[in-house]
Amino acid sequence: MAGAGPFLIAPVASGLGIRITGTEARENILSPDVQAASVTAFLDRFPDVDIVFPVMDTSVEARALNCPFEFKGRVPVISGHPFEDPDALNGLSAPDPQACETMADNVRVVARIARDTGRPVGAFVVGPVTLAAHLLGATCLVRLAARDTSAFGGVLGNCLRFIRPYALALAAAGASHIAILEPQLIFFSPAVYERSVRSRIEDLACGLPSPILHVCGDTRRHLAAFALTAHVQVLSLDAAVDFSAALDATPGLSGKTLMGNISPVEVLHRGTPGLVRETVESLVKSMRGRHFILSSGCDMVPDTPLENMEAFMQTALSLR
């Protein structure tokens, strides 16, 4: 395609390895060996991805801090928020990522994938807002943000303290990219982001390898604030954001690499190979040669049809 420039291909799709290996999601989450085998199986089937990700699990840090959880569907979901008092977080020690089994397992997965595949490996941590919502509950966090900015900042500072050692351990294990997952950030206005969140994201991203900030949903009004976030190199955004329009409307964004944003549900899961091809072509064309990372807008579901993933990869490779 005329005008199509270099772009990396990095779908957040290792969950498909679960399907390829015929294993259960639960075994993959709980066993580094099983998960590493699933990721390897995914890579065997789709060898041309540029960055491979482990199975996404946004509960790791909260589980490490003893939040109750249940396996629902394919991933553990935090089922209770044990900290009613934000000040209770002050007395908590940060989990040691080597000693805490939940974190250590994920560090081992990243090390195994990096060693066995020789590929760039992206690893996941949650961001401070998302961890805070897990620990306190979203409503409590919202009330705090609205009524006590200082306490809200203190909570985020504590969450940063809990997450950062884990992020560093993942980097030391061989992660080439660290994706900071902030699905709960979309609750808050850009003003709250600027006032209380941005500095924590910057502190978390500082010194990490190729930090990615991932925020789900319609983030168009947040983009200018995201663009100002130091240390974050990549912004991973959902399908609600038109990349080309966003780059045109937000000059500061040109300093970041955009990542995304094929809809994992409407296009990749529920669409046809034809729709996948059309959507990938349209995105690549709209970028007019500007560098970006072609990916799914968020995590792909394991029962995404493999022929849709094949259409994604074939179309991407044909355009590069």
Applying CB under 8 A, the residues found at the interface with other proteins are 70, 72-74, 77, 79, 138-139, 142-143, 145-147, 186-189, 192, 221, 264-266, 269-270, 301, 303
Residues 283 and 320: their CA atoms lie apart, in Å, by 13
Cβ of residue 240: shortest distance to other proteins, in angstroms?
11
Cβ of residue 188: shortest distance to other proteins, in angstroms?
5
Considering the complex, state which of residue 33 and residue 303 has its C-beta at the smaller distance from other proteins: 303
Under 8 Å between Cβ of 311 and 276? yes
Under 8 Å between Cβ of 270 and 295? no
Considering the complex, state which of residue 142 and residue 172 has its C-beta at the smaller distance from other proteins: 142
Q: What share of the chain is helix, strand, coil (3-state, %, to 5)?
A: 55, 15, 30
Residue with tokens 């045109």: 248
Tokens at 277, concatenated: 């091809």
Residues 32 and 54: their CA atoms lie apart, in Å, by 10
Tokens at 114, concatenated: 């990096």
Count CB-CB contacts under 10 A for residue 85. Answer: 9
Considering the complex, state which of residue 68 and residue 255 has its C-beta at the smaller distance from other proteins: 68
Cβ of residue 225: shortest distance to other proteins, in angstroms?
12
Considering the complex, state which of residue 32 and residue 183 has its C-beta at the smaller distance from other proteins: 183
Considering the complex, state which of residue 38 and residue 210 has its C-beta at the smaller distance from other proteins: 38
Count CB-CB contacts under 10 A for residue 118. Answer: 8
Under 8 Å between Cβ of 299 and 15? yes
Cβ of residue 253: shortest distance to other proteins, in angstroms?
19
Considering the complex, state which of residue 79 and residue 98 has its C-beta at the smaller distance from other proteins: 79
Nearest to 54 by CA among 99, 101, 120, 98: 120
Cβ of residue 208: shortest distance to other proteins, in angstroms?
27
Residues 183 and 207: their CA atoms lie apart, in Å, by 22
Considering the complex, state which of residue 195 and residue 320 has its C-beta at the smaller distance from other proteins: 195
Residues 112 and 116: their CA atoms lie apart, in Å, by 6
Tokens at 170, concatenated: 């993942």
